[in-house]
Amino acid sequence: MDHKYINNMLSEMDKDLSSKGLTRRDAMKLAGISGASLMMGGATSASASTEEEVVTSDAKGKIVIVGGGLAGMSTAARLTLQLSDPDITVIEPEALSVSYQPGQTLVASGVWDADDIAYKRDDFLPDGVKLIEDKVIDFQPNKNEVTTAKGQVISYDYLIMATGLQLDFERIKGLEHAGRAYSSGDNTKLLNALGDSGICSLYTAEGAVKTWELMQRSIEQAKSGKKTKFVFTHPSTPIKCGGAPKKIVYLTNSRLKEAGARENAELTFYPNGGAMFGVPEYHDAILQQFIREDFKWHYRHNLIEVEPENKIAVFDAKWQEKGEWDPMMKEFEVIAKHEKVRVEYDFLHITPPQLAPREVRESDLGSAKGWVPVNKETLQHVKFENIFAIGDIAQVPMGKTGGSIRKQYKVLVDNLVAHMDGKPMTAKYAGYTVCPLITSIGTVMMAEFDWTVTPTPSFPLDPLIERWVFWLMKVYALKPMTMYGMLAGRA
């Protein structure tokens, strides 16, 4: 555990609390937190180890984990705790694979620097776990083998898929040369494709830095008196962190207000879907926030093209119209309509379409949609009993957030170990997802829900209200919980 980081984090949080006339204990009471687990930095591996008894197993087997991001490394760490003599190999080519992706919104808004989210993979490799710095390009589940880009053929008894997903910028006409990207790693090609035309995306670490640079430039334009158009998109595919496309709207709004430039800015959100959020209660709350802040929005608009030279975004707008009366069905026909809508922008934030990596989509492991099909409760592959999937790549309802992984990885490990022992798999993932929805620089609405599609708050507070105490948790507490709790297999 990085004690220096934890102490610095707590010191900064105490300064923030002091400015409000509160102590850390006051803040805990305000949030309804019993004990010192979260706001006191208790989500670190050291404290968590005193709170949880881990039952070990003597089960044997060669376990290969494809992907060394948060999902893969947390799972590897947990397995080292639950197996007495583990044989675990992680295959991951990217040196910064464990970088803190939830912090990219804060980098994109100037709250954090890029260095605040960059973490080295090797610093979080659990003791005894082998690392192969390579990329899997072929899966042969019938042979229990994978093949890497360097030609290594690696066998396994059990396989855990934690590859994450790809950002499909090349699907957008005008950005075909951007290709497909990952959140971490060298994304120079993508940045060059976006160019200096007012287009950005916080969905890569480098892109988050550029987003902040472009936001400042656009705010200065608005501050000078020029009417400035800020446009934000949400695509037609599943995405990681479904709240991020809205968070950047709120954060841009905050920075504009801070600069005294809000009256010269128009902020418009273009979601592909017909709602702000999949949970009705959160949809209603967000809608009221949008009305309060004078944002504009247009449902069922999917970004399909950009014209950087003209600063035009092109959307496929969809709607339905009533057709002729059907006397047999005794109802009116419903006619699907759509048209291209051209939108001018000065600042365009793109949430890109997202998809499973090609090598997964085209393998026997992938489904027709590309994701790895698993039992949504046990996370075991529907066809191959010795294969499990976790995180963004797993085909489960919702679940593409770090908060989801926090619930998934212990379930996966419990079930894998039980399977190795020849016992029933009793652990179940209930679909828990959390989205700390930043509504301003200083407030967060903690959206928590599961497959019941209803709010499932962890705190005895109204989950539909934006709170400063949740901002403190987002900025100060959640990163150490992730980096020194989850990645130790404990939190």
SS3 (DSSP) at 258 = helix
Give the H/E segment covering residue 29.
helix 24-31
Residue 435 is a catalytic residue: yes
Is the Cβ–Cβ distance between 369 and 395 less than 8 Å? Answer: yes
User: Which residue in the list 241, 251, 486, 487 is annotated as catalytic?
Assistant: 241
Neighbours of 464 (CB within 10 A): 16
Is the Cβ–Cβ distance between 487 and 119 less than 8 Å? Answer: no
Residue 241 is a catalytic residue: yes
Is the Cβ–Cβ distance between 412 and 160 less than 8 Å? Answer: yes
Sort 336 into a burial class: Cβ within 10 Å, 0-12 / 13-18 / 19+: exposed
3-state secondary structure 267-284: EEEEECCCCCCCCHHHHH
Q: Which amino acid is at 337?
A: K
CA–CA separation, 436 and 282 (whole Å): 12
Is the Cβ–Cβ distance between 270 and 246 less than 8 Å? Answer: no
CA–CA separation, 43 and 485 (whole Å): 6
In this structure, the strands spanning 433-440 and 443-449 are antiparallel
User: Which residue in the list 63, 91, 435, 486 is annotated as catalytic?
Assistant: 435
Judged by phi (left if over 0) then psi (alpha if -120 to 50, else beta), residue 387 lies in beta
Whats the size of the chain, residue-wise?
491
Is the Cβ–Cβ distance between 437 and 246 less than 8 Å? Answer: yes
CA distances from 125 to 98, 128, 152, 274 (A): 10, 8, 21, 42
CA–CA separation, 399 and 224 (whole Å): 43
SS3 (DSSP) at 430 = coil
Q: Phi first, then psi: what are they for 210, rounded to 5°?
A: -65, -35
CA–CA separation, 139 and 386 (whole Å): 14
Non-local (6+) Cβ contacts of 435 within 8 A are 241, 242, 243, 401, 403, 447, 448
Q: Which amino acid is at 341?
A: V
CA–CA separation, 99 and 53 (whole Å): 28
Sort 425 into a burial class: Cβ within 10 Å, 0-12 / 13-18 / 19+: buried
Q: Which residues are catalytic?
A: 241, 435
